[in-house]
Amino acid sequence: MPFLHLSFYSTFTMSCLGLAFHRTHLISALLCLESMMLSMYIALSTWPVENQATSSTTIPLLMLAFSACEAGTGLAMLVASSRTHGSDHLHNLNLLQC
Partner 1 sequence: MEISLLLNTSMLLTLLIILTPILMPLMTMTPCPPTSITHYVKTAFLTSLIPTTLFMYSGVESITSNWEWKFIQNFKIPISLKMDLYSTTFLSIALFVTWSILQFALWYMASEPHITKFFSYLLTFLAMMLLLTSANNMFLLFIGWEGVGIMSFLLIGWWYARAEANTAALQAILYNRIGDIGLILSLAWLASTLNTWEIQQTIHHTQTPTLPLLGLILAATGKSAQFGLHPWLPAAMEGPTPVSALLHSSTMVVAGIFLLIRTHPMLANNQTALTLCLCLGALSTLFAATCALTQNDIKKIIAFSTSSQLGLMMVTIGLNLPQLAFLHISTHAFFKAMLFLCSGSIIHNLNGEQDIRKMGGLQNTLPITTTCLTIGNLALMGTPFLAGFYSKDLIIENLNTSYLNSWALLTTLLATSFTATYSLRLTIMVQTGSTRSPSISPINENNPTILNPIIRLAIGSVMAGLIISSLITPSKTPPMTMPFTTKMAAILVTAMGAILALELSNMTRTLTTPKQNPYSNFSVSLGYFNPLIHRLSSTNLLNSGQKIATQLIDLSWYKKIGPEGLANLQQTSSKMSTSIHKGLIKSYLSTFALTILIIMATL
Q: Does 16 bind partner 1 (CB under 8 A)?
A: yes
> What's the gap between Cα 65 and its chain centre?
13
Q: Closest Cα partner for 7 from 39, 51, 45?
A: 39
Q: Does 69 bind partner 1 (CB under 8 A)?
A: no
d(CA 92, CA 55): 46
Q: Which range of residues in 38-46, 47-55, 64-72, 90-98 is near partner 1 by CB under 8 A?
A: 90-98
d(CA 44, CA 92): 36
Q: Beta partners for 89?
A: 25
Q: Which range of residues in 18-26, 45-53, 61-69, 71-79 is near partner 1 by CB under 8 A?
A: 18-26
Q: Does 78 bind partner 1 (CB under 8 A)?
A: no
Residues lying near partner 1 in the complex (CB under 8 A) are found at 12-13, 16-17, 19-22, 29, 90-91, 93-96
